[in-house]
Structure formats: C-alpha cells, structure tokens
Chain A
Amino acid sequence: MNFVLIFLITIFSLSLFFYGRSKTKSISIEKNIKLNALPKFYGYYLVLWCSIPSLVFLLIWTLFEPVIIKSIIIETAANQGAIFNDKNEANLIYEKIKAIYAGTYFGDIDTILKESALSYAKFINLFTNSKIVLIFGIVIASVIYSLKKIKKNNKARDDVEVILKGLLFASSLIAILTTLGIIFSLLFESIKFFSVINIFDYLFGTNWSPQRAFVSDASAITAAEYDELKDAFGFIPLIAGTSFIAFIAMLVAVPIGLFSGIYMAEYASVKIRRISKPIIEILAGIPTVVYGFFAALTVGPFFRQIGENLGLTVSSESALAAGLIMGIMIIPYVSSLSDDVINSVPQSLRDGSYAVGATKSETIKKVVIPAALPGIIGSVLLAVSRAIGETMIVVMAAGLAANLTINPLESTTTITTQIVMILVGDQEFDSPKTQSAFALGLTLFIATLVLNYIAQRAVKKYREKYD
C-alpha cells in the first residue's frame, strides 16, 4: 500500500514539474511580466511542495499506526474479558490476533480472540482508508497553496533554496543523531555495568574472565560475591593485549608504510607510481576476515613450526601472528597518507636544499621528512586507532585467553575480541557479563576518539603551515 502511495506521489510531483514550468513560461509571455525566477524553479517549487509534506506525513503515520492500533486492540480485548497479568501476556495476545488476521494462526480460537481479530481487521481498514484520504488531502492542499503562490509570481528561487537547505540539514541531523544515539546507548549500558562493578576495580583489575561471573540476583550482591565479580572484570589484561598487538602491528606498518610512502612520493617515476600505488591500496580493500584466516591458518601455524624447530613453544594463536598480519593490513594507510603529506611539502624547500648541494637522500632526511613530520605522525596515529579497533584478525588469530604477558609467542586477547566473545550467542541483557561488553565498547570508543582527535589536530596544524 505504502509503495503504491509513494509511487503515485512521485509520479504526480514529477508531472507537476513540467506543468509548473510550462505554465509560468506561458503566463510570463502572455502577460508580458518578468518572472522573479527561471520557470524551472517554479517547477521545482511545485515538486517540493507536493512531495515533502505528504511523504513526511506518510512516514510519521507508518511509524505510529501499529502502536496506536495495538493499544486500541489490547484495550478492546480487555473490555471483552481477556485476562493478562503483565505486558508480555498482552503482547502475546496481540500477536495471536495479528496471526489470526493474517491467517497463520493454528491454535484454538475462542470468542474473545475472534471478536478482537474482527475489530483488528476493522481498524486496519479504517486506518488504511483514512491514511489514503488524508494523504490525498495533504497533496491537494499543498498543491493549491503552492499554485496560488506561483500565480503571485513569488520568489520561487529563494524558496527552493530554503527548502533544499532544510533537506540537507535534515540529512546531517540524522547522521548526528545516530552518532549521539550510539554514544548514549553505550553510555547507559556502561553506567549499569559500573553500578555493579566499581569503575576503578574495572580499570585497574588485572584479571579478565567474564565467563566466571555468575550472579543469581544482580540487585543484591554480597560482598563475597563482589570480590569474585571484580576479579572477573579487570581491564588491564585487555588493554595490555590490545596495545601489545597494536605495537607489533605498528612495528611492521610504520617502517614499511613510511618507506614505501617516501619511495612513491620522491623516487618513483610517474609510470611506476601509477601502477604501484593502486596495488598497495588494494591491501586496504581486502576484507579483514580474509586477513584473519590468513593469519590463523597460514602464518600462525608457520610460526609454530619455526618455533618448534628452534625448540620454542609457540602457541598457534599468537600475538606475533595477529600483530604481523594486522601490520600488513595497515601498511596502505600509513603509506598512502604519508605519500600525501610528503607530496604536499612544497617543491621550493627541496629546491632550496638541492641548491646548497644536498643530495636527494639528504634532502629527504633533513628537509622533507622534518617538514612533513606532523602529518606523518598524524597518519601513524590514525593507523594506531585503526589497529586497536580492528576485530576480525585478532578474533581469528590472537586467541581468547586474557594472558597478561609480553611474550609475543603466547596467545593474548584484545578488547574487540572480548566484546565479540561476550555478545556471541544467547545472552541475558541484564547480567554484568553482557553489560561489560558495553563498558569495553565505551572504553575503546574513548581511546580511538582521543587518538583520532590528536591525529587530526596534528595533520591540520601541518596543513596550516603550508597552505
């Protein structure tokens, strides 16, 4: 039904465009008046007036219709003698009524259900009909209004600008509100978690094992239980594992990425650059899950084999394998960004250096890199925040046990891995275990936010210097 309506509104609006355009044109010729805007703007004006109010109305109606019908139906069912003790039972009955209406209910139907289903059908009909009538009413009203405006030779151009600005604003508002919504949901769930576990016990605890955290009644935790609990939610091993793997990744990504960036920017001929740059950037396009199984199935076992030959114990899921592969994944971020910043160091600086007799590598080492340094640091920080937020590779290759270790051959775990482990499978949403995932998410979010902020400040400061 809704699709038909949207289709009709679209068709009608489009035809109004041509009507409005030709009509105003002919009026201006007939009466020999100078229009306040080009004829096509009057066309746009009609289109926008015809479509936006009716579509907005349709959207709101569609959002609220089920809610209203539901409350009416539950109330009528109650009046007819249906008994339900709480919200869940009421929902169950409502679902039954809906199923009966759709013809997919196979249980017994008593009189109450039957009556309710009939009235449900009645209301659905009523709502649909009134929706259609109202929408046509709105379309007609807004078309009449806008046609009247057009006849007065209004400044359609300005009005169209205002409406378009409004549309664009609405779009950005949606993006912002979504972000805020995510932050708040993280925040609220985390607050619930921190009301059970003291935030300092969480931040400075050295033991992470949420699978041990069984609480029979979250509202009444005894002191003994709490000691047990806080021992299950210590953040230190996770941040240590995360930083450790990110550190290994940066050991790989920064030198290789930076050097290839320098090569691309300073040495590569146009031809080589044109071929090799996209190839490096393909690395960034490989899905991380592919890196993940490469790390888990190829690199991990390979390291273990080498380790065995050398007489070392290497876990097949090791921080080294995960960090190495993550580093390879990050190379294009570092190389591409540092290529950009090196390229934007003005040629005049290089000329100045060559002119006193410096060679190319001296110029790069002593003039170009120092000049580009803030930008390079920015790109490295962006890469770090990418590394600590990366999930798939570490889930597959780093392991699950929260070991507090600096041995790269052992398995460690990361914040992201733990979030995945906690939320995979059936969960009850009011247990501290589940809520801890939100607390982890919030911590991770704040960490990457700070890193990104610093990185962007660095890059911006650098840009100001040369623009």
Chain B
Amino acid sequence: MNNVKIKSKNLNVYYGEKQALFDVNLDLNEKEVTALIGPSGCGKSTFIRCINRMNDVIDICKVSGNIEIDGVEINDKNLDVVSLRERVGMVFQKPNPFPKSIYDNISYGPKIHGKGETKSELDEIVENSLKKAALWEEVKDRLDEPGTGLSGGQQQRLCIARAISVNPEVILMDEPCSALDPIATAKIEELIDELKKTYTIVIVTHSMAQAVRVSQKTGFFHLGKLIEVGKTEKIFKNPDNKMTQDYITGRFG
C-alpha cells in the first residue's frame, strides 16, 4: 500500500442551491490509479475538479470541507492556484488541444511557469513530454503542424503530454476515453499504466471494464455521495454495498 497523496475530508460542493457532493471522505494513494465510477451526474467529475480547484472557474460553485495534498490544505482562499495546477494536471473528456502547433501546445505550460528558458531546454521538455505520452514517434517530424489536425486518440495523448509538460505530481483524468474508439482507448490505457509509475492518477470513467483494467483502487459515487471505496479487485468481485453490486452488474445506472 502506497502513501496517501490526496485526502478529502467532509467535502461538500454546491452549484447555487443544488448540492452536488455530500461529505465526501476519500483518500487517494501516491503512484496509483484510482478510478471513480458511478452513474452520470453523481459528482465524480465535480470531485476531481476540486483537486485542482477547477471549480473556481464556475461562478456559482461553492466548495466547503477540506482537501489536503501531502498534508497541505488546498481548499484555502490564500492558496496560489497557479502553483497548485502546476502540481495537479488535468485531462478532459473531449480532447481540447489549443489551435496552435503541436510544439506550442506542449510548450505552453512550461513557458507560463517560466521553465525552459532556452530553446534547447524547451525542445527537451517537449520531446520528453511527448515521449512520456507515447506520441513522440508519431509526431516528431511534424511538430509545427496544428494540434487540431491529429486524430482523436492522438489529440488526447497530446493533451496528456500537455498535462505532463509542467511536471505535475497528480494527473486528473475526466473520462479521457469517452470520445475515442477502442484502439485509441487501449493506447491511452496502456499509457496510464506506464504513467502511474511516476504520477498519482485519478480517473473518472463510465466503463467498468476500464476501471478494472487500469485502477488499483475504485470509488463508487451515487447522487453526490461516496457509497463505497476500496481495492478495485474487491469492489468488483465482492462489494460490501448492495448499490455498488447493482451498479457494477448493470442493474441500474
């Protein structure tokens, strides 16, 4: 069992009047993949967006409770969001490369954080990020072509490379394969397996099979509550909760 990297305590989230998360207490382990499953609208995405404070972007969203990364409270008004997001990267449901060249897509983050001051340093960051995202071989000869011209799966790996480029500790993935075909999905899953050696990964997924394949730990959300969490093997073979059982066997959701 690895160390706990992220710890949420009594986390509540409100969108205006509507409460989206109820007292979520969840520990995420370092250098492990944690999968979050549950029916649509159950709060999985809301939860991971708390970890890099992406919910700040939404005006009506209010977060109360605690989230700690390495024991430091991040749900704190005085926290520097920029450096938090440098540590916690995110990959979205739909690939969202910037309408810039592949190179500029990757170098965007490092430049913002003042990394890679010389061209060669920057080149190195770009190359390493793309290599880690298993995209280097496919794009090394066309780094100046627009990132939007890649295929869906390549675009998503480009977005993963973009997240890696600032050298984060945690990568949040919000249904990263939902817009991809099975082959691209397999590649991303392979990549996740590789990435977990270096990063703590949290993945939201609708695919039970994917959760089983990639994760070591699984949390099941329903109607904004964390119903059950445990080793992936246990959750899928022998869950404690009846609702979890029903969901993974496809009786509702």
Contact = CB atoms under 8 A, between A and B. Distances in A.
Interface in B158-203: 159, 162-163, 165-166
Contacts of A352: 92, 96-98, 159, 162
A269 B57 CA distance: 12
Contacts of A270: 59
Given A269-B59, A356-B166, A371-B98, A351 B54 contact: yes
Contacts of B99: 349, 370-371, 465
B5 interface: no
Contacts of A349: 96, 98-99
B139 to A, nearest CB: 18
B94 A356 contact: no
A359 interface: yes
A448 B112 CA distance: 41
B14 interface: no
Nearest to A358: B112
A269 B166 CA distance: 31
B249 interface: no
B85 A351 contact: no
Nearest to B172: A355
Interface string B93-116: 010111110000000110011000
Contacts of A350: 57
A351 B53 CA distance: 11
* Among B52, B92, B99, B165, residue most surrounded by chain A Cβ atoms (within 10 Å): B99
Contact of B85 (A346, A354, A367): A354
A356 B98 contact: no
A357 interface: yes
Interface residues of A, number: 21
A348 interface: yes
B82 interface: yes
Contacts of A356: 85-86, 89, 108-109, 112, 162-163, 165-166
Contact of A357 (B59, B96, B148, B166): B166
A357 B83 contact: yes
B57 A367 contact: no
A348 B95 CA distance: 9
B204 interface: no
A353 interface: yes
B6 interface: no
A374 to B, nearest CB: 10
Contacts of B97: 352
A136 to B, nearest CB: 67
A465 B99 CA distance: 9
Contacts of A357: 81-86, 109, 112-113, 166
B67 interface: no
B96 A346 contact: yes
Given A370-B99, A465-B99, A354 B57 contact: yes
Interface string A356-395: 1111001000110011000000000000000000000000
Nearest to B98: A367
Contacts of B90: 351, 355
Given A346-B96, A349-B96, A370-B99, A355 B112 contact: no
9 nearest A-B residue pairs (beta carbon): A356-B109, A357-B85, A355-B90, A348-B96, A352-B96, A357-B86, A357-B82, A371-B99, A358-B112
Interface of B: 52, 54, 57, 59, 81-86, 89-90, 92, 94, 96-100, 108-109, 112-113, 148, 159, 162-163, 165-166
Interface of A: 269-270, 346, 348-359, 362, 366-367, 370-371, 465
Given A348-B96, A465-B99, 11 more contacts: A350-B57, A351-B96, A352-B92, A352-B159, A353-B108, A354-B85, A355-B54, A356-B109, A370-B98, A370-B100, A371-B99
